[in-house]
Amino acid sequence: MTDKSEMSRQLFYPLKTTSFKDFTLIIPSVSVGNVGQLSTDLLIQSLQCEKAGFLWHPAILPVVGVDPYKVSSPELALSAEVFSSESHKLVLLQLRSSVIKKLRKAFLSDLVAWVKSSGIAQIAILTGSSNEERIDEQITSEPFRYLTNHETLLADTFRSFGWIALEQRFNFPALSKVESLAKGSDAVGQVVIPGGGFAKRLFELCSENGIPCTTLIKFCSEGDNIPDALLVVSKVDQWLKLIEKDSKGASKLVFPPSWSHLFGSPPPKQLY
Amino acid sequence: MALFGEIVEPVSRALYIDESSDEEDSQDLSTTKIPDIKWVDEAPTSIETLLVFHGHLATDFLLKVLEGSNSKSAAHLKEKILYHGKRSLKELNIFLYNIGHGIFGCLCPAVDIANSNEVVEKLLPVLNITKRVVAIATIPAPFFKGNDPTLDLPPAFMRMLYTSTFDTKDVIAPLLETPNMVTGVPASILNWCEVFKKPGCLYVCYSDSDHLDSISGEPLVKIFSNVFEGLLESKILSFNSVGHESNSSLYM
């Protein structure tokens, strides 16, 4: 293992020499409905991203299988892989398993250290958040929120899209008075993303380190989360203009072949 | 593949651990501290192949192989019961055996998935001097997921995964189909092999039975007959035919 120092270890192992300078990094937070991971899968497949390397960290629970993007390919699918698209100036980290809680802090610190050293311009965290924890304002509006630490540059853009900033909450989990960040109130509540995995921690860490970071949050429940992923990808596309459109103006999205297995095996014929 | 009336736990997409972002990160340091490897004799300078056995059947198979050959214990990685919060963890014993011809066998019992990477990091001194890593995992057949509704599979069958640097002449089984994934120590080892460009493969042996016999042991025998031809005597690779011992508690 090649530790750079006691505080930070080498996290990224590239397949070839690549530069991510001024790229946007998309990271899914392992969260409710696996929305972030499904959205990342959809972006990797639709943008035909190239595998750029792997992450190796003891915090990432190990899983291994075959390539989810190509049928009958012997290439392995590892726990944490990095994909990139030079033409879109995009890096995507795909996490296929959870991060061990006791090592989460160390993992996120190492991740931020890697982002800083690689010259990545900004981070987009994609996450789900529990439907059942919504407050009234969130139930009665589009089930999507954003959170950004780059207010000056991005908040106006996002508001022009009609996006709503994540409301701060004074008491959690109790239902409480809400103060929207977008309204610019002086009152300070707290940011909560129930069921959002490490999204909030990573966002805070990026803010502390001066890395422009935006979190896109989709409220959802466990189940068929493909529609949630489609919505998140459409929001990413609205912001970063990534996906080609057909003659009718619809995004040319390609579903990964592995999605045909999302709901398990069909019932055995012997049953009937 | 499940027996009639058998309860097979559904594979859930539920998260392994509670990922609520609003809880403080646990920095509990009373977690497992896996000790260093203790070699019985002098540590080897090079290992041709490291065989890692994981799972009930694979463990039984290695023990049978060791019983019938002149293999000897080479190293030991032992951990006492430790406490993680209120939960006590079982004693962890990882043994390395010198099977001969530069081949070492690693007996890796059930390790908590959360400790799999730590185990692999502790095995790094061994992995670094190994030219090729072969992991063998045995998994109960009901965990195999396939799109074929007839599920016309034999009682014991094998699939495999291999790294980009692995010699494909030792590919003796079909690739593991999506959406099947392997976790735990075998997955951690294959992840490490791919990241650090070490030739490695994982034979995934599925079986209906958790008792080692001529049928459930067939995939394991195939590995040793093809990949390690001549390493073991044929009598070591012969098993009792399937017994009538019932493993089901559903019927007497």
The string of pLDDT tens digits covering residues B188-212 is: 999 999 999 999 999 999 998 888 8
Q: CB–CB of B113 and A61 under 8 A?
A: yes
Task: Please list the pLDDT of chain A residue by residue as tens digits (272 residues).
Answer: 444 444 567 899 999 888 999 999 999 999 999 999 999 999 999 999 999 999 999 999 999 999 999 988 899 999 999 999 999 999 999 999 999 888 899 999 999 999 999 999 999 999 999 998 888 888 999 999 999 998 777 888 998 999 999 988 876 665 545 544 444 555 567 888 989 999 999 999 999 999 999 999 999 998 889 999 999 999 999 999 999 888 888 889 999 988 887 776 666 666 66
Residue B96: its pLDDT value, please? 85
Residue A25: its pLDDT value, please?
A: 97
User: Do B143 and B158 contact (CB within 8 A), yes or no?
Assistant: no
The parts of chain B modelled with pLDDT lower than 70 are 1-35, 69-92, 110, 147-151, 233, 235-236, 239-252
Element (H, E) at B21: none
Residue B53 CA to residue B135 CA, distance in Å, equals 6
Give contacts of A197 with chain B, Cβ < 8 Å: 19, 21
User: Under an 8 A CB cutoff, do A197 and B21 touch?
Assistant: yes
Q: What gap in Å lies between CA A151 and CA A130, rounded to an integer?
A: 25
**Min distance B238 CA to chain A CA atoms (Å):** 31
* Residues 6 or more apart whose Cβ sits within 8 Å of residue B228: B49, B103
Cβ proximity of A36 and A30 under 8 Å = yes
* Residue among B178, B58, B64 nearest B109 (CA): B58
Distances (CA, A) of A114 to A20, A54, A122, A203, B196: 11, 12, 13, 15, 18
Rounded Cα–Cα distance for residues B173 and B183 (Å)? 19
Which chain A residues contact residue B89 at CB under 8 A? Answer: none
- Give the residue on B whose Cα is nearest the Cα of A104: B25
The pLDDT score that the predictor gives to residue B238 is: 72
Taking CB atoms and an 8 Å cut-off, how many pairs form between chains A and B? 153
- Position A51 scores a pLDDT of 95
In total, chain B counts a number of residues equal to 252
In three-state secondary structure terms, A64 is: strand
Residues of B in contact with A198 (CB under 8 A): 19, 21
Q: Do A76 and B164 touch (CB under 8 A)?
A: yes
Q: Are A95 and A80 in contact (CB under 8 A)?
A: yes
Q: What is the DSSP string of A79-147?
A: SEEEEEETTTTEEEEEE-S-B-GGGHHHHHHHHHHHHHHHT--EEEEEEEEEGGG--HHHHSS-SEEEE
Q: Helix, strand or coil for residue B147?
A: coil
* pLDDT for res B59: 86
Cβ contact B160:A242 at 8 Å: no
Complex ipTM: 0.87
Closest chain B residue to the Cα of A133, Cα to Cα: B20
pLDDT of residue A169: 80
